[in-house]
Amino acid sequence: MRRSCAIPRCLKGSARSAAPSLKVVVSPIDILNVSEIERALTEFARSDNGGLILTSSALANVQRDLIISLAAKFRLPAVYSFRFFASAGGLAAYGSDSIDPHRRAASYIDRILKGENPADMTNPFRGRFIKFFRT
């Protein structure tokens, strides 16, 4: 079992409050440019039993190939926020389907135009767990 995970500072409060019950240590990593990605993941990989939880950011999305390759190089198990990370070679992705809301938009518009009250409509979260394992 992995005993530490790196997450962005934006989730620091929630993750730190949940960490003791999960018996993990949270190590937030702030990344603002490519060199910080390399430095942070290299430094984090030095700790034992680490894992990476990467949430969405423009920089992470653009630098996904670098992040995925560094996670693989350092053998860091990683969970990403979008399917395209897993499709590009990342270990696993979990998050909402970014295409599904666009598919459902037409049916919502149709229902509203037919007189249904938008406040009465449900909008369920459809989480997806996508895994691709490298051997």
pLDDT in tens, 90-112: 988 877 667 777 777 888 888 89
pLDDT in tens, 2-51: 444 555 555 667 777 888 898 888 777 777 888 988 988 888 888 877 88
Do residues 42 and 22 lie in contact, with contact meaning Cβ atoms separated by under 8 Å? no
Q: Taking phi first (over 0 means left), then psi (-120 to 50 degrees means alpha), and beta for anything else, what does residue 89 get?
A: left
Nearest to 94 by CA among 81, 77, 110: 81
Question: Residue 82: what pLDDT?
Answer: 83
How far is 9 from 80, CA to CA, in rounded Å?
15
What CATH architecture applies to the domain 4-131?
Answer: 3-Layer(aba) Sandwich (3.40)
The set of residues, in sequence order, having a beta carbon less than 8 Å from that of 74 and lying 6+ positions away, is 41, 42, 44, 45
Where in the chain are the domains?
A: 4-131
Q: Give the residue carrying structure tokens 């005993």.
A: 3
pLDDT confidence tier of residue 130, bands split at 50, 70 and 90: low
- List strand residue ranges (DSSP E) for 1-135, in order: 4-6, 25-26, 50-54, 78-80, 92-96, 127-131
How far is 113 from 47, CA to CA, in rounded Å?
56
